[in-house]
Amino acid sequence: MSSSLYIVIAGCGRLGSLLANELSRQGHSVVVVDRNEAKFAGLSAEFGGFTVVGDAVESDVLRQAKTGQADCFLATTNYDNVNLMLAQVAKTVFRVPLVIARVFDPSRESVYQQLGVATISPTRLSALAFQAAIQQGSAGQA
Amino acid sequence: MRYILMGGGKTAYFLARDFISKGHNVTLIIRNGDEAAALSRQIRATVLHGDGSDPVLLEDAGARRADVFLALTPHDEDNLVACQLAQSMFGLPRTIAVVNDPENEAIFQQLGITVAVSATRIITTLIEEQTTFGAITNLFPVAEGRIVVTEVRLDADAPALEKTLQSLKLPEGALVAGILRGETVIVPRGSTQLQQSDRLILVTQPGNYGEALRILMGEDA
């Protein structure tokens, strides 16, 4: 991942804006899509990418973001179903090589992993982190 | 048949009522609690309150035994995910989704939904047909548009009047499959003669559609 990638991020909430700022700082070309323009306030002053206002569930909005040319598509809205749909559209219709969706619900996540959608579940990651912290804590006490 | 309908509103209500009157078994999944409570008193269906894209609720709704899943909410993403979960987790054979963005019709079918329907597209098509051709109606595509079925009315100036079908020399790939003459229905043969006000059921491949129309109705068609 050393060379510059073209990355589309759908959803400019806490996770989306954090990723957009960080990836832009690393020198990647980033386009962020959100249906609420006010959310772009979360982008840092150094953010060098572009923003598109619109509902990414409309294919037309994804085309405006030039999703067809993207190397990577990240679905980071607050809605599992939106992310799951966007990931599949980015992969199947726009043929983006690397697509990742955030999915809170672990049971939904496992179904879509079987369908070939790459997902990251904050719920599952937190559970693992808690368990690791418990193990460390109890090891420290022993 | 066992139907599961996800989504509220008038469409869900009237569809559910229609299915029940035809003797089908209906389960409704409705997100709004008040609406769910009201509907459960109005119709003889099982009504569940909750999110239809939640696997636990789908299981409770009997997704394992259902034959058809219909997703009718105004949110395309919820309709897609609910249909996909019903299919892949519970093996539901037929899923039907309403889509708002007409483009999602093709996309949803590509993503495995059995049928995706866009009300916008249907209304647009109807309006275009009705306004463009007075004498041509019911244009609908079969086999992904490789065959077109049209109803054509022969007016007083149609060149095909008083002629037999075999003398018309319709192009290859065009067929008059039926004639509606007043109250009678004729399955035509080559010797059948066409009359004014006949309504022809024309089956064509798209490439031959224009030529067939010109032979039957004249250059204006």
pLDDT tens digits for A113-138? 988 899 999 999 999 999 999 999 88
Q: Name the residue ranges covered by the structural domains of chain A.
A: 6-141
- How many residues does the structure list for chain A? 142
B81 within 8 A of B100, measured Cβ to Cβ: no
User: Rounded to whole angstroms, how far apart are CA atoms B163 and B97?
Assistant: 47
B203 within 8 A of B147, measured Cβ to Cβ: yes
pLDDT in tens, chain B (221 residues): 999 999 988 889 999 999 999 999 999 999 999 999 999 999 989 999 999 999 999 999 999 999 999 999 999 999 999 999 999 999 999 999 999 899 999 999 999 999 999 988 888 777 766 655 567 766 677 777 788 888 888 888 888 999 999 998 898 889 999 998 988 888 998 899 999 989 898 898 888 888 888 898 886 65
Q: What separation, in Å, do the N-terminal and C-terminal C-alpha atoms of chain B show?
A: 45
* 3-state secondary structure at position B152: strand
pLDDT score recorded for residue B218: 82
- Best mutation site among A57, A60, A81 for testing chain B: the one with the most B CBs within 10 Å? A81
pLDDT in tens, chain A (142 residues): 458 999 999 999 999 999 999 999 999 999 999 999 999 999 999 999 999 999 999 999 999 999 999 999 999 999 999 999 999 999 999 999 999 999 999 989 988 998 889 999 999 999 999 999 999 988 766 5
* Pairing assessment for the beta strands B147-153 and B199-204 based on DSSP bridges: antiparallel
H helices present in B76-162, as ranges:
76-90, 104-110, 119-132
Handedness of CA B167, B170, B171, B174 (dihedral sign): negative
Contact residues on chain B for A84, CB-CB shorter than 8 A: 77, 80-81, 84
A80 at interface of B, judged by CB pairs closer than 8 A: yes
Half-sphere exposure of B51 (CA within 13 A, CB side): 14
Q: B133 Cβ partners below 8 Å, 6+ apart? A: B221
Instruction: Tell me how many helices (H) and strands (E) chain B has.
Output: 8, 11
User: Rounded to whole angstroms, how far apart are CA atoms B136 and B139?
Assistant: 8
A85 at interface of B, judged by CB pairs closer than 8 A: yes
Contact residues on chain B for A57, CB-CB shorter than 8 A: 76-77, 101
* CA-CA-CA-CA dihedral for A78, A82, A84, A87, to nearest 10: -100
Q: Name the residue ranges covered by the structural domains of chain B.
A: 2-119, 130-217
Class of domain B2-119: alpha beta
User: Rounded to whole angstroms, how far apart are CA atoms B20 and B40?
Assistant: 13
Residue in this structure with the two tokens 């029940």, named with its chain if needed: B20
A125 at interface of B, judged by CB pairs closer than 8 A: no
B212 at interface of A, judged by CB pairs closer than 8 A: no
pLDDT score recorded for residue B139: 65
Residue of B nearest to A83 (CA): B77
Contact residues on chain A for B89, CB-CB shorter than 8 A: 111
Min CA distance, A112 vs chain B (Å)? Answer: 9
Burial class of residue B175, CB neighbours in 10 A (0-12, 13-18, 19+): middle
- Best mutation site among B51, B57, B76, B84 for testing chain A: the one with the most A CBs within 10 Å? B84
User: Rounded to whole angstroms, how far apart are CA atoms A32 and A20?
Assistant: 7
pLDDT score recorded for residue B131: 57
A92 and B78 within 8 Å at the Cβ level: the answer is no
- Assign domain B130-217 to its CATH superfamily: Regulator of K+ conductance, C-terminal domain (3.30.70.1450)
Give the CATH fold of the A6-141 domain. Answer: Rossmann fold (3.40.50)
Contact residues on chain A for B103, CB-CB shorter than 8 A: 58-60
Residue of A nearest to B52 (CA): A81
Q: Among B80, B85, B103, whose Cβ lies nearest the Cβ of A85?
A: B80
